[in-house]
Amino acid sequence: MYDSCQSSLPGLAYECSTPHRDDSAALASRMPAGSIDIRRVSLRAIAAMRDAFRAEMDCQIVHDSIHHRRGWTLEFALAEDGRTVGYASLAVDGPWRDRPTFYELYIKPEHRFRAYALFDAFLRTTRPPGFEVQSNDTLTTAMALTFARDIATERVVFRDHSTTAHVQPGASLRCVTTSQEIQAAIVDRQGGGEWVLDVDGTAVGTGGILFHYNPPYGDVYMEVNEAYRRRGFGSYLVQELKRECYRLGGIPAARCDATNRASQRTLQSAGFLPYAHILIGSFQ
């Protein structure tokens, strides 16, 4: 179901009442132009296409949960000749409150030959200042980079690749979150669990698993106290958090800053493999 809409958000201007005529000949291929309509819709209206998007990605989707945070996103249906053929999403609250940001695009496979025309119409209708995309989402990334400037990488995204067998004498993992809280986080896709790494009774690091991503993925994070760094505790802690994630029915994943070489080495040493970047940039 379509909603009539006009933006009042800072940095975002759009008017959705008039169908958009496709005239982006340079990018839209030489196919005959159709009537492209960009309409704001509810999340429910694009639910089936979002399921198809998740299935196609088949990985942790870093921005997945913000669709379900009230007021954080705007969803737009992409229609051509009266048929809905895809959707695009803008983040407009939380970290993006003052800079509405494009972050997700899905076009049905049989209509992807019209991707440039559809995305150009979306940009000209909504005019978002920037984008933040996951690079292995190839269609979203290809469209964003075509129209972008000031491109940079913010995070590296990792998937689990192998099981490691690091040993730390006297080390044990202690959960400081109740099982009820962890199970609630898994169900709600919000929050997670926290653990402490003890070595001979001394806490040397902390870590956790966040479940605010698409099921069944859990995002592993950790920090080792400075006095205990460069002694293998980080890799061991990540290894054990991965084990906990699997025990809880999840699939471990991770992210780190693109410039943090120490964290990248630690994640790889624990069996994670880098496979994507979170790319950011501007449209205007």
Band (111; pLDDT cuts 50, 70, 90): very high
Band (11; pLDDT cuts 50, 70, 90): low
Q: What is the rounded distance in angstroms from the CA atom of residue 202 to the CA atom of residue 157?
A: 31
Looking up tokens 């048929």, which residue turns up?
Answer: 83
- CATH code linked to domain 159-280: 3.40.630.30
Mean pLDDT over 25-30 rounds to 39
Task: For residue range 223-250, list pLDDT tens digits in order.
Answer: 999 999 999 999 999 999 999 999 999 9
Looking up tokens 């030489």, which residue turns up?
Answer: 30
CATH architecture assignment, domain 2-147: 3-Layer(aba) Sandwich (3.40)
Global confidence as pTM: 0.86
Q: Mean pLDDT score of the chain, rounded to an integer? A: 90
130: Cβ contacts below 8 Å, ≥ 6 apart: 99, 100, 101, 102, 280, 281, 282, 283
Task: For residue range 192-225, list pLDDT tens digits in order.
Answer: 999 999 999 999 999 999 998 899 999 999 999 9
The better pLDDT of the pair 68, 7 is held by 68
Q: Do domains 2-147 and 159-280 have the same CATH topology?
A: yes
- pLDDT at res. 26: 41
- pLDDT at res. 9: 61
Residue 1 in this model has a pLDDT that exceeds 70: no
Q: Can you read off the two tokens belonging to residue 235? A: 């890799």
47 close to 36: Cβ distance less than 8 angstroms: no
Domain ranges of the chain: 2-147, 159-280
Band (10; pLDDT cuts 50, 70, 90): low
- pLDDT at res. 208: 98
Task: For residue range 81-93, list pLDDT tens digits in order.
Answer: 999 999 999 999 9
Q: What is the rounded distance in angstroms from the CA atom of residue 37 to the CA atom of residue 20?
A: 5
- pLDDT at res. 6: 54
Residue 91's nearest CA partner among 109, 112, 65 is: 65
Bridge partners of residue 206, in order along the sequence: 196, 223
Q: What is the rounded distance in angstroms from the CA atom of residue 120 to the CA atom of residue 65?
A: 26
The dihedral region occupied by 82, where left means phi > 0, alpha psi between -120 and 50, and beta the remainder, is left
